[in-house]
Amino acid sequence: MCSAKIIPFPASVVATHGRSQQQPPFPCSALLFDLDGTLVHTGPDLAGAMNHVLQSRGLATLDPIEVQHLVGNGARSLLARGFWGRGAEAPEGDSDFEAAVQQFLAYYAHHIADHSHPYPGVMEGLQRLQEAGFFMAVVTNKPEFLAHKLLAELNMAHFFKVVVGGDTLPTRKPAPEMLYHATVHMASAINEAVMVGDSDNDILAAQRANIPVIAVNYGYNQHDALAALHPDVLVDCFGAIEGLVVREQA
């Protein structure tokens, strides 16, 4: 059984983001979905590409579970964390690192859907949400070409009117611009949108855009860490989402 838990906003969140708690179901026309850890379990293929790069350089490989906890800030950041540990930043102007990034991207692009698959209930849930008339977008920190490739290989591309990647704009999540961009390209408005994601970046981006955010705890971040960021609702499976949104008529 799916469950959805409303996370009460403390005064600090209200003061910082200027928004009082909204109660679901949220009236909206647009749903903005994070990709890795929310729609698709990509961890094993990301780990495969990471370990390919590490191995080719004679370095120790990483446990795939460890790699998936490093996902969420794009490919360069993932690789930097794989090389130097959690919290590491991708260096600028380091030609060796840039060569490793290209090696990672090339390998990952060829193996992007070897093991990756939508989480349980995602395909059916997206189908019902589309039939209910929601406009849907993917808003991911993954490079845009990889997001398109993954969605095409998993037969998911037809659900989405727009895909915004980590390199589509000069900024990426947790900045809110990707969310604005997605709604503009769906002929919707930001105040008619709800974000769904599995990480701090998704929750913060939604709070900065002043829109409701539903966090999922089956992805790459733990329940308690997510709850501490005060998403509006925290769910433990994708099927809970359709009970939390209601299609707003224009």
Residue ranges binding ligand PGA (CB under 6 A):
34-37, 71-75, 78, 140-142, 199
Minimum Å gap between C-beta 37 and Mg ion is 4
Give the per-residue contact string, 199-218, with Mg ion (x = CB under 5 A; - = no): x-------------------
Q: Where are the alpha helices (DSSP H) in the chain?
A: 11-17, 43-56, 64-68, 75-84, 95-110, 122-131, 144-153, 177-184, 200-208, 223-227
Is 36 annotated to bind a ligand? Reply is yes
236 is in an annotated binding site: no
Question: Which residues between 32 and 61 bind Mg ion (CB under 5 A)?
Answer: 34, 36-37
Based on the residue annotation, tell me whether 34 is a catalytic residue of this protein: yes
> Residue 231 interacts with Mg ion (CB under 5 A)?
no
For residue 99, the minimal CB distance to ligand PGA (Å) is 19
Please give the C-alpha separations between residue 38 and each of 25, 106, 121, 190, 221, in angstroms, as whole numbers.
20, 24, 11, 21, 10
* CB nearer Mg ion, residue 29 or residue 196: 196
Q: What is the largest CA-CA distance in the chain?
A: 58
**Residue 74 interacts with, from Mg ion, ligand PGA, none (CB under 5-8 Å by kind):** ligand PGA
> Of ligand PGA, Mg ion, none, which one sits near residue 142, judging by CB under 5 to 8 A according to partner kind?
ligand PGA
Query: At CA 19, angle to CA 241 and CA 30, rounded to 5?
Result: 35
Q: Cβ 173 to ligand PGA, closest distance in Å?
A: 6
Beta bridge partners of 234: 5, 215
**Spacing of C-alpha 242 from chain mean position:** 18
Contact with Mg ion (CB under 5 A): which of 198, 200, 232, 242?
A: 198
Least spacing, CB of residue 172 vs ligand PGA, in Å = 8
Residue 71's region, left for phi above 0, alpha for psi from -120 to 50, else beta, is beta
What is the rounded CA–CA span in Å between residue 250 and residue 248?
6
Helices marked H in 18-74: 43-56, 64-68
Q: Which residues bind Mg ion (CB under 5 A)?
A: 34, 36-37, 198-199
Query: Which residues are the active-site residues?
Result: 34
